[in-house]
Amino acid sequence: MLLSQEFQNFIAQRRANPVPLDHLTDIGKLRASFDALGSDQSSLSDVMFRPVDAAGVPAEWVEPVGSDPSRVIFYLHGGGYVAGNPVVYRNFVTALCRASGYRALMVDYRLAPESPFPAALDDAKRSYAWLLTQGICTDQIVIVGDSAGGGLALSTLVSLREGCQSLPAAAVLISPWTDLTLQSGSHFTKMKDDPIITRTFLELCRQHYLGTEASGMDALVSPLHADLAGLPPLLVLVGTDEVLFDDSAALVHKAHEAGVDVGLIKGDRMIHTWPFFINSFPEAEKAVQAIGTYIRSRIR
């Protein structure tokens, strides 16, 4: 695959000026560095952002002009369970809304270390239940998450199924972090390939999220270890140059074996959560359009 010059320039800049997440022990500084990744919000003039209390969970509606209010992207952001917020994701989620024609609800779930597992999962389930009270039908909802948010989205689906609750129409998992045991081979073979995320950063986040009570083998912490039978259709996106590549490949295989309708988009030589960088290179735009097409195909 011929990579765009914009992507090559992006990678060169990241390698020359890496995000110092590995070396930050102060949680406030770590969050500030993560937030800087989403600082470009230059194309959002035709979008309304409305904060809302989703049954005690802060959230934000993303409503581009012309979006269908009856169909919703339920979005769970990344950040290793320790960072991230809806403002950082406005640009990217707006692009997903435009690509699909739907509006989105972004959940500002509690973060570790102040609120370790299961706080984020509880907030995701509570805000999802609130969404249903707003007159939105489950077959008009697609749950989407990236990185830790992708893992959280999968954990939410597993927990909802275990509770015999109505599931959304489909899910899109972007570079999902689904195994907090950090044992897959790509954590080692890809450790020098991706300038966005490293095993060192994941280990730090893992410790914060697990706290003193949880285990990385818990199926709701690491949903790669869960029974996936009965889940709605899944689309998984993963870059071939990221440390989470093997985790996602294993997830797709396991979901298929469990009878789940699952698709995989492998971004050739792409990095962790590459669609997030929608304004930086055309490969991200192409991925966003593919996600939009998938979302539209799953909601009738």
Q: Which residues are catalytic?
A: 147, 242, 272
Estimate to the nearest angstrom the gap between the alpha carbon of 35 and the chain centroid. 15
Of the candidates 44, 15, 26, the one whose C-alpha atom is nearest the C-alpha of residue 278 is: 44
Determine if residue 135 is left, alpha or beta; phi over 0 gives left, psi from -120 to 50 gives alpha, anything else beta.
Answer: left
Could you tell me which of 141, 81, 143 has the C-alpha nearest to residue 116? Answer: 81
Sign of CA dihedral 252, 228, 58, 216: negative
Q: Nearest Cα to 271, choosing from 244, 297, 232?
A: 244
Element containing residue 162 per DSSP (H, E): helix 148-162
Rama region for 296: left / alpha / beta (φ>0; ψ in -120 to 50; rest): alpha
Give the contacts of 288 (CB within 8 A, at least 6 positions apart).
92, 95, 96, 99, 275, 278
8 A C-beta contact, residue 139 and residue 71: no
Q: Report the alpha-carbon distance of residue 268 to residue 82 in Å, rounded.
A: 28
Burial of 9-29, coded b for 16+ CB within 10 Å and e otherwise, reads ebbeebeeeebebeebeebee
